[in-house]
Amino acid sequence: MDRRSLLKGGGFAAAGAAAVASPAIAQGMPEVKWRMASSYPKSLDTLYGAGVQVAKRVAAATDNKFQIQVFAAGEIVGGLQIVDAVQNGTVECGYTLSSYYIGKDPTFMFEASVPWGFNTRHHNAWMQHGGGLQLVRDFLADYNIVNFPAGNTGAQMGGWFRKEINSLEDLKGLKFRIAGMGGQILARLGVVPQVLAGGDIYPALERGTLDAVEWAGPYDDEKLGFVKVAKYYYYPGFWEGTAQTSVYANKEKLAALPESYRNILEAACAEANLWCLSKYDAENPDALRRVVSQGAVPKAFPRDVLEASYKQAFALYGELAAQNPKFKKIFDHWMAFRDKELTWFRIGEFPFDYFIYSQRN
Amino acid sequence: MDRRSLLKGGGFAAAGAAAVASPAIAQGMPEVKWRMASSYPKSLDTLYGAGVQVAKRVAAATDNKFQIQVFAAGEIVGGLQIVDAVQNGTVECGYTLSSYYIGKDPTFMFEASVPWGFNTRHHNAWMQHGGGLQLVRDFLADYNIVNFPAGNTGAQMGGWFRKEINSLEDLKGLKFRIAGMGGQILARLGVVPQVLAGGDIYPALERGTLDAVEWAGPYDDEKLGFVKVAKYYYYPGFWEGTAQTSVYANKEKLAALPESYRNILEAACAEANLWCLSKYDAENPDALRRVVSQGAVPKAFPRDVLEASYKQAFALYGELAAQNPKFKKIFDHWMAFRDKELTWFRIGEFPFDYFIYSQRN
């Protein structure tokens, strides 16, 4: 399309002219450079990639005037140190999962994932229209952070096990690499949660000093090759029925942005939120087929494991709420919203899913 | 926060200054005014509201230089005439549901909703990372339209019935206000689909010249007051397990935008896509409680209705594919993707949902 037809096609002369002149006219906009420290390595092109998507969209929407450079875990700070790095201004923003910081305060979990809590639809409804985002922002303000939901894995798998789990009894003494709140819940059922750095997991599983490991879903798990040493692939990963990742922006750095840039950042994060979930939902099916062709045996956790873990999860939350007013404030709100969601989704969404999954395609 | 602390807090002097000076520095950006014709009345604050959300974000992200004015159904063109209005440039863009245009070509349905097809997660995965968006865009290019997914209702309810439906037999001769592909499928089961304008539905239902009506979900349905004349509220609305709405942009008008504005529009639509779905998911639970308190009786369609409609749906798609190469091209791709999604979601997502919905909260 030549310049003439562009001008002719445009409803407004100004818009038509702008298409030709846009690199020039943006000169008045301020140049801003931010650094984003990600919790993830570049190989995780979905979670790491979601941060990159944010940066790309922000740059394209500002004629490259607002540039965010994304750094992989370890390049500036470790992957689990994003809260500290954003809080003290080492970086202007980070890309992370709040669950990593429950050691600071268990209240962090509500932003990302509550074991046996919301699925992704419930979580997004709570965050966006249920009051959840404001509650989480009030909490994160103490860390000098403003969060923008910017990714999700959907429900995760329950991990790779060397031996079958046939009942709750089989969890007793099981050395399971699982972090966070899920580990605390499983510990109440006799599991011995292990925390190992990424590179140590595979050899520990191979040697048998580890019985099982959970990571994410097929698309990410496949890259780590666990199928070769632990073929039983359990589901559901009930400790992560949703797992929302976020851009954490330093509060002052964010306030210093032009209003238009802040709006662009917010929209780009929301877009990445859906982009990331949809990428997992599109990539996991083929990845599951591939790991199964390599010997993976998908298996459902036995019912007593599900029931006992469900019971222990809510018992733990009750204890935490009794000790921690910040936790209680969000938990009470979250529980009330959850009751409503479950009632509605049993009617509005689940019967559709139930029927289609029961068909032989 | 005063100007000094803003400047002090900013990591970059340019950014700090910009926050104060932003209304001034944007003067170099071109002014663009678009009109968006919506398929919806203002009372539907979720579907109509999603278009408004797009306009708000676009304006805020461009210091009000790119303004989109949203018009309700009927203000410029009728709610079902958006394709024509965008195609011929009467408006720069519209907000609509592709299902309304299956009279032009049944291929339109794939962008919005396929009866007994995807749920919202599957649909978004296909559109965003499965190749669906490009296929749909290739199809819509013949109408001079570029689509941007910008909303979703989630799975809808099956509508309001004056009498109970206890078996497939009860569908015979049923005068049901249902539009689109769902009506064609139900006609194969003996239903007599009726097409009535909004204002005529309630009196027809009251008089008994209509036996049933489907609209959307509790939040929208409540506003129309159907509970007073048809209390049986059936689910699932299997003809709309997802229903994605879109911004339709005129191809030339879009091409005439500055690149940065096009990026902002695209991000704002993606954001509205999630905003709209989450709003339904947050509002429907309370609306369901309210209609039940007014006498609504939620009921599941009998199994034979689900099975027969499922069978007829895919039989119809097969017939349409045999007649229509455009339909066949997208359908074949869609079916292959669907097979993969169902296999994965049976393991990855469904068992989590199944368990939580089976608990008494």
Three-class HEC string of chain A: CCHHHHHHHCCCHHHHHHHHHHHHHHHHCCCEEEEEEECCCCCCCCHHHHHHHHHHHHHHHCCCCEEEEEECCCCCCCCCCHHHHHHCCCCCEEEEEHHHHCCCCHHHHHHHCCCCCCCHHHHHHHHHHCCHHHHHHHHHHHHCEEEEEEEECCCECCEEECCCCCCHHHHCCCEEECCHHHHHHHHCCCCEEECCCHHHHHHHHHHCCCCEECCCCHHHHHHHCHHHCCCEEEECEHHHCCCEEEEEEEHHHHHCCCHHHHHHHHHHHHHHHHHHHHHHHHHHHHHHHHHHHCCCEEEECCHHHHHHHHHHHHHHHHHHHHHCHHHHHHHHHHHHHHHHHHHHHHHHCHHHHHHHHHCCC
Per residue in A47-76, pLDDT tens?
Answer: 999 999 999 999 999 999 999 999 999 999
Q: Which residue has the higher pLDDT, A284 or B197?
A: A284
Structural contact between residues B23 and A28, judged by C-beta atoms closer than 8 angstroms = no
Same domain, B269 and B230: no
Taking the CA atoms of B87, B89, B92 and B94 in sequence, report the sign of the dihedral they define. negative
**A353 → closest Cβ in B26, B30, B119:** B119
Contact B345 A352 (CB under 8 A): no
A117 to chain B: closest CA residue: B356
The answer to whether residue B11 scores a pLDDT higher than 80 is no
* CB-CB neighbors (< 8 A) of B32 in chain A: 12, 14-15, 18
Q: What is the mean pLDDT of chain A?
A: 92
Whether residue A4 is predicted with pLDDT greater than 70 in this model: the reply is no
Cα distance from A153 to chain B (closest Cα, Å)? 11
- Taking only the tens place, the pLDDT of each residue in A178-221 is 978 999 999 999 999 998 877 788 999 999 999 999 999 999 99
Q: How far is A171 from chain B (nearest CA, A)?
A: 19
- pLDDT at residue B5 is higher than 50: no
Among B14-18, B29-33, B115-119, the range scoring the smallest mean pLDDT is B14-18
Q: Other CB atoms closer than 10 Å to residue B304's CB: what's the count? A: 14
Which CATH number goes with the domain that contains B319?
3.40.190.10
Kindly state whether residue B289 falls inside one of the protein's structural domains.
no
Q: Would you place residue B196 in the very low, low, confident or very high pLDDT band (cuts 50, 70, 90)? A: confident
Q: Give the minimum alpha-carbon distance from A102 to chain B in angstroms, rounded to a whole number.
A: 23
Mean pLDDT for B332-361 is: 95
Q: Measured between beta carbons, which residues in chain A are less than 8 angstroms from residue B64? A: none
DSSP state of B88: T
Which residues of chain A does B271 touch, with a Cβ-Cβ cutoff of 8 Å? 266-267, 270-271
Query: At B140, which CATH number?
Result: 3.40.190.170
Residue A313's pLDDT is 98
Confidence of residue A147 (pLDDT cuts 50, 70, 90): very high
The answer to whether residue B313 sits within a structural domain is yes
**Is the same domain home to B133 and B267?**
yes
Alpha-carbon distance of A57 to B281, in angstroms, equals 27
B104, part of any domain: yes
CA distance A319 to chain B (A): 18
Distance from C-alpha of A12 to C-alpha of B61, rounded to nearest angstrom:
20
Flag whether B263 is in a domain: yes
Query: In which order are the strands placed within the sheet that holds A145-152?
Result: A66-71, A32-38, A93-97, A244-250, A145-152
Are B263 and B214 within one domain?
no
Residues B143, B170 within the same domain: no
Residue B309 and residue B229 share a domain: yes
Tell whether the model's pLDDT for residue A28 goes beyond 90: no
C-beta of residue B258 within 8 angstroms of C-beta of residue A19: yes
At B20 the pLDDT is: 39
Same domain, B254 and B235: no
**Are the Cβ atoms of B127 and A278 closer than 8 angstroms?**
yes
pLDDT digits (tens, 9 = 90+) for A330-353: 999 999 999 999 999 999 999 999
| B291 belongs to a structural domain | no
Residue B137 and residue B180 in one domain: no
User: What digits encode the pLDDT tens for the residues A280-311?
Assistant: 999 999 999 999 999 999 999 999 999 999 99
Look at residues B256, B282, B308 and tell me which one is the last residue of a structural domain.
B282
How long a stretch of residues is chain A? 361
Contact A256 B10 (CB under 8 A): yes
**B174 CA: distance to closest CA in chain A (Å):** 22
Cβ within 8 Å, pair B155-A235 = no
pLDDT the model gives residue B14 = 37
Query: Which range of residues forms the domain containing residue B352?
Result: 159-241+297-358
- Domain stop point among B282, B307, B339: B282
**B216 and B301 belong to one structural domain:** yes
Residues of A in contact with B119 (CB under 8 A): 349, 352-353, 356
- Chain B contact probe: residue of A355, A358, A359, A360 with most B CBs at under 10 A: A355
Based on the domain organization, do B176 and B223 belong to the same domain?
yes
What's the average model confidence in pLDDT over B163-170? Answer: 98
Q: At B246, is the secondary structure helix, strand, or coil?
A: strand
Query: Does residue B47 lie in a domain region?
Result: yes
Same domain for B275 and B180? no
Average pLDDT of the residues in B67-77: 97
CA distance to partner chain B, nearest, from residue A86 (Å): 12
Q: Write the residue in B29, B130, B341 that is nearest to A25 by C-beta.
A: B29
- Let me know if A322 is exposed, middle or buried by CB neighbors in 10 A (0-12, 13-18, 19+): exposed
Which residues neighbour B49 within 8 Å (Cβ) at sequence distance 6 or greater?
Answer: B276, B279
Nearest CA in chain A to B5: A252
Q: Do A281 and B12 lie within an 8 Å CB cutoff? A: no
Closest of B284, B277, B253, B272 to residue B51, by C-alpha: B272
User: For position A195, what pLDDT does the model report?
Assistant: 81
Asked if residue B265 is part of any domain, the answer here is: yes
Chain-chain contact of B124 with A278 (C-beta, under 8 angstroms): yes
CB A248 within 8 A of CB A108: no
Please state which of the ranges A17-31, B164-178, B233-247 shows the lowest mean pLDDT: A17-31
B258, B282, B306: which is the final residue of a domain? B282
Confidence of residue B179 (pLDDT cuts 50, 70, 90): confident
Q: What is the pLDDT of residue B180?
A: 85
Q: Do A128 and B279 touch (CB under 8 A)?
A: yes
Percent of chain A predicted with pLDDT > 90: 88
Query: What is the count of structural domains for chain B?
Result: 2
Confidence band (pLDDT; 50, 70, 90) for B73? very high
Asked whether residue B35 falls in the same domain as residue B148, the answer is yes
Domain-located, residue B41 = yes
Residue B1 — very low, low, confident or very high, per pLDDT cuts 50/70/90? very low
Q: For residues B144 and B169, state if they share a domain.
A: no
